[in-house]
Structure 1
Amino acid sequence: MAALLVLALQGCQDTASGDAGGKPPSPAPSAPDAAGSSAASPAQPSSSPTGGTAGDPCALVTHQEAESLAGTALEPGRELEGTCTYPTPESGPTAQVEVFAGESGKNYYDAERGLGHELKPLDGIGDEAWLEDGSVFLRVSGRWVAIRLVRNEDPARFDKPLEELARTVASRL
């Protein structure tokens, strides 16, 4: 009986280890929490490169920039399906920086517009840029990026830092 259990478990591990090409399966998207953000599993932590493209959300906002925006220490970025999440350590204050690039950035922008949220236009950033409480959206050469800051403080306090970060990100696209 024990041998059958071991063989069955080993078969499950072989199936989960990848497809015929040897690649591991893509992780399933996580369900949004009550605040509407996805709890990213500890996917691949990102390094903090100096530049990036809309297809690499962790390259658009560096770890240092995310920490500066949040005003607290954050864990390395975790990339998952067009997003990059910089969470706080469990022992830290409530804070998180999320970067949505490409289609996920456009979808986030469209959702906020669709909900009737008030978006303030920002001049001189890419082709267009918009600010709302805790988030900024920008489009450069058809590529969308959204940056969301989660903090338990007045979101207006972070308007200027979000706008400055949007300018930096626009220069990378």
Structure 2
Amino acid sequence: MTHLGTGQRWGVAAATILTLTALAGCGMIGGDDAGDTPAAGAGKSVAATPDDDPSVAASAEAPPAAAAVDACALVTRQEAEKLAGTRLEDPLEKPTDRDTCTYTGPVTGPTAQVEVYVGDGAKKFLDIDRELGHKMTPISGVGDEAYAEDGTVFVSKGGVWACVRLVRSEDPALYRAGLEAVARTAAGRL
């Protein structure tokens, strides 16, 4: 007779438990009778219903996700140059992240940058500026909702937010009309 050591006994016990667990999961044991009847519902595909799981009803009624909007398509380089009043470089290509677009001024100057954000990032930008107490002025007739602050405009249309920020060293008031015009253009493209 061969005697198993303590480590071997634990190994056999673990293997037995794993085998029994696997068989129970397959419906091969634990049926209605002590025999070979599989557990109720084993082998059947059962779809969840709103009565079983309230989240099923919510997901079935959820609107389709909005199509992704390319931030660089909301404000073109030519429009950004008009807003900034200077020549700007093409944005860096970011094929996996099209919810931001940044046009920068040439290294020779003047200092200029136009940033475009669309989606959750634009909304978060607005929320943070509100929390910081930035003065927001509503822009009437633009999208569903639109606001301006020094150097930045926010616009929402169809539940999608966009933000355009201009960085220049001059007084932001000089660019207010241009920013509102860009907000109108962006809202029309959302």
Match of 1:114 in 2: 131
Match of 1:148 in 2: 165
* Corresponding position: 1:94 with 2:111: yes
What does 1:12-161 correspond to in 2, within 5 Å? 55-78=69-92, 80=94, 81=97, 82-161=99-178
Give the AA of the match of 1:62.
Answer: T
> Where do 4+ consecutive residues of structure 1 move more than 6 Å?
none
State the AA in 2 paired with 1:56. Answer: D
The residue aligned with 1:170 is 187
TM-score, normalised with respect to structure 1: 0.67
Change (3 A) 1:101 1:66: same
Following TM superposition, by how much is the alpha carbon of 1:107 offset from its aligned partner in structure 2, in angstroms?
Answer: 1.0
CA RMSD of aligned residues (A): 1.3
For structure 2, list consecutive stretches of 5 or more residues without a partner in the other structure. 1-66
Aligned partners of 1:88, 1:54: CA distance in 2, in Å? Answer: 27
1: distance between equivalents of 2:103 and 2:85?
A: 12
TM-score norm. by structure 2 comes to: 0.61
Q: Which has the larger radius of gyration?
A: 2
Q: Secondary structure at the match of 2:154?
A: strand
The residue type equivalent to 2:92 in the other structure is: R
Secondary structure, aligned partner of 1:78? coil
| Stretches of structure 1 lacking an aligned partner (at least 5 in a row) | 1-52
Q: Which amino acid aligns with 1:59?
A: A
1:78 is displaced (CA, Å) by 2.8
Q: Quote the residue 2:3 is aligned against.
A: none
1:58, distance to aligned residue in structure 2 (A): 0.6
Of 80-89 and 126-135, more deviation after overlay is shown by 80-89
- How far, CA to CA, are the matches of 2:105 and 2:164 in structure 1? 16
- Report percent identity of matched pairs: 55
